[in-house]
Structure 1
Amino acid sequence: MARQSGPIKFEGSMGNVTFYKHKNGNYYARQKSQISKKRFKNAPEFEGSRCAGYEFGRASHISRLIRHGLVSNLNGIEKLGHSKLTGIIRKVIQSDPISGRGKRKFYLGNYRIMDGLELGKDSVLSILGGKPLISLLDSGKKVNFDFSHLGLIQVPKMDSPITHYSISIFVVKIGEDSEITGEKLEYAFPLANVNQPISGIGSQMLEYIEVKDENQVILTAIGIRFYQEVNGRYFILQENGGVVISGV
């Protein structure tokens, strides 16, 4: 790939060279691949590339499922984008000690390395002063979040004064059988005054219809958003908030 220079920029193809505009605003030129799809799919010299592509595609799919499950709280505050999350999930897949390269699975890898992964602008664990107690019950059919041991939130510094906060909890079930599917559960606690201890929200149970299969992974997450009360109305402060993956 070569960057185009000069006052005139091209888009399109000429011979075996393609000219195009990148999303970063720059113009590039690259030579078309001389490798046919059939050869790539079957030739032994491309086995490593095929395996890497398979695992990357799997990681990308799981990343989308997780982000989709957390989208209601990630909106406007996302810090860790799709590509970075995909890279972390790839590491989980590559840690599968049982399957061969190209066949490694997320649920067989060390997915606990994602525990504590902060996705938003603020550190949820620092704001909460710790983790809720998360329990999987009834073979993974039920997930309980217990906040009763936590104190006051650590209010982040913001231009607008924070008067209230809202905590949300999420469960995303990642399955890997014939297809990867994501089943999500979520619950938002009522708004609480910043002077109210987190313990006041107590605990909440989320429940699936069916128990967890052995080839499924339960990922849990906690989100927080902040509000300002003005004349009895509550306005969300879009510039701050966070989501942390916790208790996987």
Structure 2
Amino acid sequence: MARQSSFIKLEGTIGDVTFYKGKNGYNARQKGGVPKSRIMNDPSFQRTRENLAEFARAATSSKFLKDAFREITLRSRDLRTHNRLYSTALRVIKSDPTSKRGERIIANGDITIFNGFQFSYNAMWESTVFVPFTVDNGTSDVTVNLNDFVPSKMLANPQGATHFRLFLVNAAVDFTEEVYRSQSIVGPEMPINITPVTGFSLALTKLGLAGHTDFYAIGVEFLQEVNGDFYDLNDRTHNAAKIILID
């Protein structure tokens, strides 16, 4: 690595030399590494090509699933949500028990590995909502029933929040055809006070799409009431959501 000493500081690539700004100033380095053509054709890089193929499928599948859950990622996510989805998708691909290395696909893998996925590590469901719930996976619908609870005691609500909403999202995904449909239900705005919430449930009718895997995720978002209107908090890092059922 060389350091630039000229009064003209360069950034970018000229020929085989890349100029860049680092923590110690402006530097320059020569391009190196194995040529792409060799990686893609040399028999000694067969394992590398196999890995690259599966990495690419994991990247595509994770972005696809993130898009399918856009209703949640608009409300609850962290800076590494996509990376964590990618890592989980790669684990699913590697669990494919039938395909050869480099040809494994997410549709043949253990999709249940996604179950329990937290959309935000800043606000995990279990450390935000301290309310037990049950999931009723019926023939025609999925219902989430929460135990009775006192919001001010059972929610880790952020400063400035006066109300909260619970929501349930269903993403029906066909990884092979790369198509999906999403639906959601959002509960009413409820005050964060000592009044008990009783008999609360959220339900969605199953889409019943052939060839699709149904993901269900529950979430909570915090709001502030001002003169009768409800506003999202500027800081959404306290909103939590996680996948609770894969059907």
Question: For the superposition of Structure 1 and Structure 2, which TM-score range results when normalised by the shorter chain?
Answer: 0.7 to 0.9
- 1:57–1:235: structure 2 CA closer, same or farther, 3 Å change rule? same
Partner of 2:97: 97
Say whether the 8 Å CA contact 1:69–1:170 is kept in structure 2: no
Aligned-partner SS, 1:73: helix
Letter in 1 for 2:166: I
Once the two structures are superposed, residues 139-171 of structure 1 have per-residue CA deviations (whole angstroms, 9 ceiling, x without a partner) of xxx5412225453442214221x3321112112
The aligned counterpart of 1:70 is 69
Native 8 Å contact 2:89 2:106 kept in 1: yes
Paired-residue identity, %: 23
Three-state SS of the structure 1 residue aligned to 2:69 is helix
1-side partners of 2:27 and 2:18: how far apart? 11
Match of 1:211 in 2: 209
Q: 1:143 to 1:61 in 2, by over 3 A?
A: farther
Task: Report the alpha carbon displacement of residue 94 of structure 1 after superposing the two structures with TM.
Answer: 0.9
Higher deviation after alignment, 91-100 or 12-21: 12-21
Q: Structure 1 residue 44 and structure 2 residue 43: aligned? A: yes
Instruction: Flag the 1:222–1:197 CA change in 2: closer, same or farther, 3 A.
Output: farther
* Matched residue, 1:135: 137
C-alpha displacement of 1:221? 1.0
- 1:181 is aligned to 179
Counterpart amino acid of residue 164 in structure 1: H
The separation in 2 between residues aligned to 1:71 and 1:207, in whole angstroms, is 19
CA distance in 1, matches of 2:81, 2:165: 23
Go from structure 1 to structure 2 and tell me whether the alpha carbon gap of 1:171 and 1:27 turns closer, same or farther (over 3 Å shift). farther
Any idea what SS the aligned residue of 1:151 has? coil
Aligned pairs for 1:11-160 within 5 A: 11-20=11-20, 29-31=29-31, 35-37=35-37, 39-75=38-74, 77-79=76-78, 80-120=80-120, 121-126=122-127, 127-135=129-137, 137=139, 142-149=140-147, 151-153=149-151, 154-160=154-160
Match of 1:245 in 2: 243
Change (3 A) 1:74 1:150: farther
Superposed CA offset, 1:71-95 (max 9, x none): 3333364223312321122112112
C-alpha spacing 1:34/1:133, structure 2 compared with 1 (3 Å) = closer
- Deviation of 1:224 after TM superposition, in Å, equals 0.8
Aligned residues: 235
Matched AA of 1:46: F
Contact 1:168 1:188 in 2 (8 A): yes
Partners of 1:232 and 1:3 in 2: CA distance: 62
Matched to 2:173, the amino acid is I
Amino acid paired to 1:135: N
SS of residue paired to 2:156:
coil
CA offset digits 1:160-208 (Å, max 9, x no partner): 1x3321112112223233x433332222122223356555442312332
- Paired with 2:100 and 2:118, the residues of 1 have a C-alpha distance of 30
2:220 aligned with 1:224, yes or no?
yes
Question: Which consecutive unaligned segments of at least 5 residues does structure 1 have?
Answer: none
Q: Do the aligned residues in 2 keep the contact of 1:132 with 1:150 (CA within 8 Å)?
A: no
Q: Look up the match of 1:235.
A: 231
Across the aligned residues of Structure 1 and Structure 2, the Cα RMSD in angstroms comes to 3.1
In structure 2, relative to structure 1, the CA distance for the partners of 1:9 and 1:32 (3 Å cut) is farther
